[in-house]
Chain A
């Protein structure tokens, strides 16, 4: 394992120290709680947005804390969900009298820890909490026989759009409804060219031969569908989009927000190339990308590969997407 670290156990804490130093006056880090807040106080009467999850997916979630997006992000250990204490502390901090929305990716640990935090908050009273669980990944069969679909790329859209709605001063129910609508209208599929290496494990968390790729991978490298032969980018784009398009289903005339996301070790050169392929395929299906987003947004440490997320949009969602945002990782219009 070759990494820019000091000790595996200290990676998250030390990274947060650097993160805070890199964005002075913009974010504030509670180091004891490993929780990131906006530097400015929450605006009275606005809904607070709290998300979080295991670390290793940067810029998610800490990179999206700021005006127009998250109020706070709770950082768990690498690939391990945060604990309820973190979520509860963040919830209390960002409560500005209009309630707090928990945005949770559908992973067993994340769901349970956020659920316990919400239960603890309810026991103590005071803060109204709504929870939206994101589960956009079509690679996982959604049945009673699995933990359900994973939350992946739609999380970025949900954080941005619900964040914009909260910034407008909408109610908790309305902000939660936006997040739910994002989840209902978004679908994703990912793939890996090479595994990642969690620092505490010290070695890759799965194996792939030189001529193989993993199709339907999650954001920790968990498999979804199959190990298949490596193919040219145009074909990979088809393999990712075919199940995505069939699932919602998306249809001719749809307008979408499209995310081509890098898993951490894939250069932008390749991600832009992939976006070109995605755009070409969508065009052939009569689907128009109204807002594209290309880059590393929800990563898996040093995993190579990408995921594609499509969100069926309407004027309201596009308007919320265009609203000003000012976070370390996403910034426009302000």
Chain B
């Protein structure tokens, strides 16, 4: 059930963000085993399980409560993830949504530019929390290219849904590009050179996050 009100070409509404989160929960469930297997190769084999537990708690939040504004929904989503995921993904995805909320304070809908500001704040939050940079073989390797693609699309005059679609494509490309990288952060960094040859599980779940926005 990954349908719902999708972002229109002009704005992201509370219903649109809700649909995005529901679509993400569905994608996480569908890819739970894959995420765990990717994590088994270079981490500790719990990324799928942890993200599934987190998105279950977000789904419960969506069922329990209604939200008037984007920032309220995003902030509660972040808090739900922080409170349920654990590991490194909890603080990272939690920070993503908590920071995403800030530029959207009081807004019931956001246009492409406002959403862009929220995405920038969210990714900056992830960067600060994880102290990682591009090329460290982390979720940033999906998020940073996605941000660039989003900005470029906007600069070329694309609407919100086109920009999100291009961001999702770039996130997937960035995720695939983590395969040859040597991990510098997280538990995969203990493998050193041996972490090369495996796709990063965090970049994979991050690419799914952007893909969910296009559903």
Given contacts A80-B46, A83-B90, contact A108 B190 (CB under 8 A): no
Are B40 and A108 in touch, CB under 8 angstroms? Answer: no
Cα A220 to Cα B79 in complex, Å, equals 28
Are A222 and B190 in touch, CB under 8 angstroms? Answer: yes
Are A222 and B44 in touch, CB under 8 angstroms? Answer: yes
- Residues of chain B contacted by A141 (CB below 8 angstroms): 192
Cα A113 to Cα B88 in complex, Å, equals 8
Instruction: Confirm or deny: A6 has a beta carbon within 8 angstroms of a beta carbon on chain B.
Output: no
- Residues of chain B contacted by A84 (CB below 8 angstroms): 82-83, 90-91
| Binary per-residue interface labels of chain A (225-250) against chain B in the complex, 1 for a CB within 8 Å, 0 otherwise | 00000000000000000000000000
Instruction: Confirm or deny: A82 has a beta carbon within 8 angstroms of a beta carbon on chain B.
Output: yes
In B180-208, the 8 Å CB interface with A consists of 184-187, 189-192, 194
| Binary per-residue interface labels of chain B (46-81) against chain A in the complex, 1 for a CB within 8 Å, 0 otherwise | 100110010000000000000000000000000000
Are B85 and A83 in touch, CB under 8 angstroms? Answer: yes
Given contacts A201-B36, A222-B191, contact A109 B90 (CB under 8 A): yes
- Residues of chain B contacted by A201 (CB below 8 angstroms): 36, 40, 45-46
Are A112 and B46 in touch, CB under 8 angstroms? Answer: no
Q: Which of B40, B84, B186 contacts A147 (CB 8 A)?
A: B186
Cα A141 to Cα B194 in complex, Å, equals 14
Are A82 and B86 in touch, CB under 8 angstroms? Answer: yes
Given contacts A112-B129, A116-B91, contact A83 B86 (CB under 8 A): yes
Are A80 and B82 in touch, CB under 8 angstroms? Answer: no
Q: Write the chain B residue with the least CB distance to A149.
A: B190
- Residues of chain A contacted by B130 (CB below 8 angstroms): 108, 112
Q: How many of chain A's residues have a CB under 8 angstroms from any CB in B?
A: 34
Cα A113 to Cα B129 in complex, Å, equals 10
Are A112 and B91 in touch, CB under 8 angstroms? Answer: yes
Instruction: Confirm or deny: B92 has a beta carbon within 8 angstroms of a beta carbon on chain A.
Output: yes
- Residues of chain A contacted by B185 (CB below 8 angstroms): 108, 147
Cα A84 to Cα B84 in complex, Å, equals 9
- Would you call the interface of chain B mostly helix, strand, loop, or mixed? helix
Are B190 and A80 in touch, CB under 8 angstroms? Answer: no
Distance in Å from the Cβ of A300 to the closest Cβ of chain B?
10
- Residues of chain B contacted by A83 (CB below 8 angstroms): 82-86, 90
- Would you call the interface of chain A mostly helix, strand, loop, or mixed? loop
Are B190 and A218 in touch, CB under 8 angstroms? Answer: yes
Q: How many of chain B's residues have a CB under 8 angstroms from any CB in A?
A: 31
Instruction: Confirm or deny: B87 has a beta carbon within 8 angstroms of a beta carbon on chain A.
Output: yes
- Residues of chain B contacted by A85 (CB below 8 angstroms): 82-83
Distance in Å from the Cβ of A131 to the closest Cβ of chain B?
15
- Residues of chain A contacted by B184 (CB below 8 angstroms): 144-147
Are A108 and B192 in touch, CB under 8 angstroms? Answer: no
Are A200 and B46 in touch, CB under 8 angstroms? Answer: yes
Cα A222 to Cα B186 in complex, Å, equals 11
Instruction: Confirm or deny: A262 has a beta carbon within 8 angstroms of a beta carbon on chain B.
Output: no
Given contacts A79-B46, A84-B82, contact A224 B87 (CB under 8 A): no
Q: Write the chain A residue with the least CB distance to B45.
A: A201
Q: Which of B84, B87, B192 contacts A109 (CB 8 A)?
A: B87
Q: Write the chain A residue with the least CB distance to B81.
A: A83
Q: Which of B46, B85, B92, B190 contacts A150 (CB 8 A)?
A: B190
In B6-41, the 8 Å CB interface with A consists of 36, 40
Given contacts A77-B50, A79-B44, A205-B44, contact A223 B191 (CB under 8 A): yes
Instruction: Confirm or deny: A99 has a beta carbon within 8 angstroms of a beta carbon on chain B.
Output: no
Instruction: Confirm or deny: A295 has a beta carbon within 8 angstroms of a beta carbon on chain B.
Output: no
Are B83 and A140 in touch, CB under 8 angstroms? Answer: no
Distance in Å from the Cβ of B101 to the closest Cβ of chain A?
15
Q: Top 10 nearest A-B pairs by Cβ distance? A: A112-B91, A109-B87, A146-B189, A109-B88, A80-B86, A201-B45, A108-B88, A222-B190, A80-B87, A147-B189
Subset of 29 A-B contacts with CB under 8 Å: A54-B87, A77-B49, A79-B44, A79-B46, A83-B84, A83-B90, A84-B82, A84-B91, A108-B187, A109-B89, A112-B129, A113-B91, A141-B192, A145-B189, A146-B184, A146-B192, A147-B186, A147-B187, A147-B189, A150-B190, A198-B45, A200-B36, A200-B49, A201-B45, A222-B44, A222-B187, A222-B190, A222-B191, A224-B190
Instruction: Using CB atoms and an 8 Å cutoff, list the residues of chain A in contact with chain B.
Output: 54, 76-85, 107-109, 112-113, 115-116, 140-141, 144-147, 150, 198, 200-201, 205, 218, 220, 222-224
With A83-B90, A84-B90, A224-B190 already in contact, 11 other A-B pairs whose C-beta atoms are closer than 8 Å: A80-B87, A82-B86, A83-B83, A83-B85, A108-B88, A109-B87, A109-B91, A116-B82, A116-B91, A150-B190, A222-B190
